[in-house]
Amino acid sequence: MSWDGVALGTQWAVEGMAIASPPTIVGSSMDANNTGWVEYLTYYDGGTFWLSKDGPWGDGYSDLIGDVENYSVTIRVTYVMGNHVARPATSTSPASSGPARRATAASSSSPSPTPWGT
């Protein structure tokens, strides 16, 4: 991943998480025509993160590496007449341990749930 969108895959990574529980609906604006958005929350366990030593968080000498204890992803999916039309970037909040506790945000993909649940 890339914090600035320029050098994708060269600045940071979060990987190896496992879904701890199925996504749950935390908000919705669906109308009678099945048009609107549904917001899902998914919890993950485990994994690792890596931040390049050359990123704005680095010192130029050592990459920052650590374990992810837990991770949550919130995603808002837009539907028109019941059809999935948009899924924007996710917002995430990892909890980390290890020498690099400065990692505070990352992105991840989430399953494409339907408006009716998982």
Domain extents in the chain: 12-97
Q: Which residue has the higher pLDDT, 109 or 5?
A: 5
Q: Which residue has the higher pLDDT, 113 or 10?
A: 10
Q: What is the mean pLDDT of the chain?
A: 75
Yes or no: say if 28 and 40 are a contact pair by the CB < 8 Å rule: no
Encode pLDDT of 47-99 as tens digits: 999 999 988 888 999 999 999 998 888 999 999 999 988 766 554 554 444 43
pLDDT of 105: 35
How does residue 5 score in pLDDT terms, banded at 50, 70 and 90? Answer: low
